[in-house]
Amino acid sequence: MKKRTVFWLWMLAVLGTACVYDYQAETGNLQRFVVIEGDILIGDYTQVRVSTSGALSDNSAADRSIPAVAYVEASDATRYTGPLDAIDTRNANPSLQYRLVVSCIHGTYMSDWVGVLLSGPIDSVGYHISDDRQTLTMEVSSRGVDSPYFRWLARETWEYHTPYYASSYFVRKGTKDHGVVYPQDTILPFRSGENTCYCWNDANVPDIMTASTEHLSENRLVQHELYTIGCYEQRISYIYSVEILQEALSEEAYRYWETLSKNSKDIGGLFSPEPFEMPGNIHSERDPEEKVLGYISATVPSVKRVYLRSAEIKFAQIPPEDRQVYDIESRCDYGDSKTRRWLFTNGFSVVGRTPGMPGCFDWLPTRCVNCEVWGNGTRNKPDFWPYDD
């Protein structure tokens, strides 16, 4: 028993750790500014985010979002309302002009009136793998209609699995599970669809992705590179999906995003440079001199979603820091109730029955068999996901 306890303590020490950091500029504190993000999407829902910028000396990763209400106003005085993440502009008239109006604790802010630009179709979304097979680069082929200036937003969703599959789980004494209160510690088999192996996660691609065909003979882009994924990243370990939203921009909006992209690369984060370097088109109702960060456009977007499987990419590799996890041997609890309670209390989970040892169960660190811990995702499969577990 002493030898087994030492082994588990060693396992805890090895596996107890899990897997955007900000640039630290050498400068004094700078004022925070209101940041308003979210273009007006005609024929779709408009999503708005209101936050404050960080001073260059502030390297915290805290979410700086602030409560706000917003609406989209048309030049015929029609107002389109809804929550910040779903202002309903699906039936807005593309022949009118629009502006965004936002109210928050800092005041009321309005964007300039802008006309609607029609985005051309997305012909295809693909990828290529670097010669050293260390990166995968997503790319798009598109055509413009109203403008030679393009911008893309990308929302990623990926399915990932834990290193090991658990068929059973531990229920503590007095715990209610599926309507039953168990009078003693119990190990139960997972019901169908209840396993902890499969999870999903999602994120917005943070890159500023723009392009121009103004110096090309045709308003068309072929295999234009958008963003890159490293070969060790969990998001391409099983099934990866991305929804690409393409916008048409005015020349002013394009120059704004190009400047912001350059500055964020030079300084180390979005909205880090001093705002006079990149004037937007949003203004304070109370104080016209107040600097507000953001540029609001209006567009009829094009959208395309694609799915990539790791089996077809033949690209998935195990990150060096995780390789030790795949070399772990599970250990039997020998049917001992005290051992089971200790394992559960100290961050281990049941894997399943020990072969050839009736009444015994194997255990592993929870992060090895619980995908919500392994990758901070959710076991709720997205409604649009086309694959079964």
CB contact set of 218 (below 8 Å; sequence gap of 6+): none
Please say if the pLDDT value at position 265 is more than 90. no
Confidence band (pLDDT; 50, 70, 90) for 262?
confident
Residue 306: beta bridge partners?
242
Please say if the pLDDT value at position 324 is more than 70. no
d(Cα 265, Cα 286) in Å, to the nearest integer? Answer: 33
Task: Give the Cβ contact number of residue 309 at 10 Å.
Answer: 14
Q: What is the pLDDT of residue 192?
A: 84
182 to 178, 356, 361: CA distances (angstroms):
10, 27, 19
d(Cα 341, Cα 377) in Å, to the nearest integer? Answer: 27
Q: What is the pLDDT of residue 320?
A: 59
Please say if the pLDDT value at position 338 is more than 70. yes
Confidence band (pLDDT; 50, 70, 90) for 323?
low
Q: What is the pLDDT of residue 20?
A: 28
Place of tokens 């503590």: 172
| Per-position b or e across 90-120, b if 16+ CB within 10 A of its CB | eebeeebebbbebbbebeebbbeebebbbbb
Q: What are phi and psi of 209, to 5 degrees?
A: -115, 105
Q: What is the pLDDT of residue 215?
A: 94
**Cα dihedral sign, 372-375-377-383:** negative
Residue 90 tokens, joined: 């699906």
Average pLDDT over residues 8-22: 32
Least confident of 5-19, 276-290, 343-357: 5-19
Assess contact for 152 and 142: CB atoms under 8 A: no
Of the candidates 31, 89, 78, 382, the one whose C-alpha atom is nearest the C-alpha of residue 240 is: 382
Assess contact for 250 and 258: CB atoms under 8 A: no
Assess contact for 364 and 328: CB atoms under 8 A: yes
Tens digit of pLDDT for each residue in 193-230? 888 999 999 999 999 999 999 999 999 999 999 999 99
Q: Which of the pair, 57 or 344, is modelled with greater confidence?
A: 344
Tens digit of pLDDT for each residue in 130-181? 998 889 999 999 999 999 999 999 999 999 999 899 999 999 999 999 999 9
Please say if the pLDDT value at position 2 is more than 60. no
Of the candidates 147, 140, 133, the one whose C-alpha atom is nearest the C-alpha of residue 249 is: 147
d(Cα 325, Cα 271) in Å, to the nearest integer? Answer: 39
Q: What is the pLDDT of residue 154?
A: 97
Q: What is the pLDDT of residue 122?
A: 97
- The domains of the chain, with CATH numbers, are 31-111+251-296 (no CATH), 119-161+203-247+300-317 (2.60.40), 163-196+318-375 (no CATH)
Q: Does the predicted model carry a pTM greater than 0.75?
A: yes
Q: What is the pLDDT of residue 51?
A: 93
d(Cα 224, Cα 214) in Å, to the nearest integer? Answer: 15
**Cα dihedral sign, 355-356-358-364:** negative
Q: What is the pLDDT of residue 232?
A: 85
Please say if the pLDDT value at position 72 is more than 90. yes
